[in-house]
Chains A and B, each alone.
Chain A
Amino acid sequence: MKERRLHKSFGDRLLEGVLSLIAVFIFCVFFLLIYKFVIGSLPAWQHIGFFKLVSRQWNLVRGQYGVLPLIYGTFVTSLLAVVLATITGVALAIVLSQYDWPWFNRPMLLFVDGLSAIPSVIYGLWGLSVLSYFHLSVGMYAAGVILALMVLPTIVSTVRKIMNAVPEELKQGALAIGATKEEMIHMVVLPYALQGILGSAVLGLTRAIGETIVIVMVLGFRGQTLTSVLVNDFALRTHALVTSSLYEVALLLCLVAILTSIGGRLLVRSAKRGQRVPL
């Protein structure tokens, strides 16, 4: 504040004022979101109560409002997705960042870009067709595998950046004491990137939790997740309490997404700076 400019023209002040107003508007949008969802879900909180909420049945028509099966569905599908995507994504990121093979890396990068560009309905449609081709049924595992494909680009791009940032001296040192390149990757690159890998997995989890349309299409009625229930039960909104219990589920979804998002960002950001979060 000491170095404040003496001559701030009226136009500059106006601009700053307008910009800060718009910034406040963003805050307002967020709080409006929370407000709307809380107000919307109030009837559900009042009528259902906490114990019915943590029960094991979700069927709005029959008046069962337990959210546990939804949380279970979200947990299983997105965890499966993240585990699969982390294993393959880290393998891919290793090759992309540590090996200079244009004939391999260029098409791979193109494909990863493609994975992130394809709209999610197409994943769902493709998933259905693949399942019917192999005579498999819809369900949690199918949904998890297809979600893994959608999460993959996030993980690959984050982990690749972190692996590119491994200090050259560490790598050269490992090679100098006689390690092969692959041993060097195990000894140096993977431990260095571990925290970033963890962070990107949590970010991938955020994405997997929020994915909706693929789950609706591929999970069918073999289960429900926090997101798919919003779409599936939206048609029932003429029944009593349905809309408000959907708001309640959305609030829960927001909470989960915000927590995983903050956790993942913190891990990735400190990993990029080379700091370590005590785990």
Chain B
Amino acid sequence: MKVQPNLRRIKSKLWLFLWVLLGIVAVLPVISMVLEVVIRGLQGLSPVVLDQVSASSFGGNLIHAVAGTIVITLWTAAMSIPIALMVGVYLAEYPNYRFMYVLRGLVTTMADLPAVIGGLFAFSFITKHSGDGAIMFSSIALSFVLMPRLIRDTEQILRTVPSVIREGALSIGATKRQLIFYVLLPSCFRLLVRQWLHGLARVMGETAPLIFTSFNDQALTLPLSTFTFAKGATQGSLLEAWGRSFLLLIFVSILLLVSKQISRRVVR
């Protein structure tokens, strides 16, 4: 009678050990990844290497890629945030016509489409492959990726607003317009901003869609030039790639940290 429970207890602890072990093994690579990006990235950003870059044949200096990343991210934000906000409000605040169910399903499906599809979609609108337009078409591609995700987020955030608030506003005579613009949107503004920053951080690191819309500018943004240099696969070009990926990681983390800070101050 005494052996049985002990065996069971040992077996249980073994299971627990296995779960913890598997969990640790699964997330260990993050530490390695971040360390490697920081260490090699700092090497890759050293002045000596940077001097060689400007002479290298890829034609992409660092400033170009940084500027491209920032400009494209801003354009993407400008294109996708207003539309996502409007569709999100429409889905959350207006009565459920049958049309809405279809729209909701469509948005979810579009959010799950691979990002490359966005690139190819934007590419299909390009008529002449010369001159400017890389920024515009890249932003369109990224907006296609970002917009459905933001719509879903906006709708879910608006649904967390208690219905008491809506009823209160309507009962003192607010119109729907006033309800949306003066009550609902201000009350979850911080959460919305957090989601925007989050989405932009995700989209900033996208590489695949930009391959189709970069007009052969292989250093258009930081992720794209990281990819280009990594393909070079010589020791020097790999170092460049690490340098760029380090900068990219910094940009992404800044956006994410700001978004986290914003959500921390939400008082509910």
Interface size on A, residues (CB 8 A): 80
* Inter-chain contacts of B154 with A (CB < 8 A): none
Is B215 at the interface (CB under 8 A from chain A)? no
Is A66 at the interface (CB under 8 A from chain B)? no
Closest to A107 in B: B27
Q: Give, as a whole number of angstroms, the nearest-CB distance from B187 to chain A.
A: 18
The answer on a CB contact under 8 Å between A108 and B12 is no
Q: Give the most central of B86, B114, B245: most A CB within 10 Å.
A: B114
Known A-B contacts A16-B94, A26-B107; A117 and B16 likewise in contact (beta carbons under 8 Å)? no
Is B20 at the interface (CB under 8 A from chain A)? yes
* Inter-chain contacts of B103 with A (CB < 8 A): 23, 26-27
The answer on a CB contact under 8 Å between A11 and B117 is no
Is B64 at the interface (CB under 8 A from chain A)? no
The answer on a CB contact under 8 Å between A230 and B120 is yes
Q: Give the most central of B25, B31, B121, B252: most A CB within 10 Å.
A: B121
What's the count of A-B pairs with C-beta under 8 Å? 228
Q: How far is the CA of A20 from the CA of B113 in the complex (A)?
A: 23
Q: How far is the CA of A36 from the CA of B120 in the complex (A)?
A: 10
Q: How far is the CA of A59 from the CA of B78 in the complex (A)?
A: 40
15 contacts between A and B (CB under 8 A): A11-B175, A12-B176, A87-B22, A95-B16, A95-B23, A112-B27, A114-B30, A117-B202, A129-B40, A182-B12, A216-B208, A217-B231, A227-B208, A247-B124, A254-B113
| 11 more A-B residue pairs beyond the given contacts A95-B23, A126-B32, A186-B15, with a C-beta to C-beta distance below 8 A | A11-B175, A23-B90, A30-B110, A37-B121, A88-B22, A115-B30, A119-B205, A120-B207, A121-B223, A217-B230, A234-B212
Residues of B within 8 A of A (CB): 8-9, 11-13, 15-16, 18-20, 22-23, 25-27, 29-34, 36-37, 40, 83, 86-87, 89-91, 94, 99, 103, 105-110, 112-117, 120-121, 124-125, 144, 147, 151, 175-177, 180, 201-202, 204-208, 211-212, 223, 226-227, 230-231, 238, 241-242, 245, 248-249, 252-253, 256
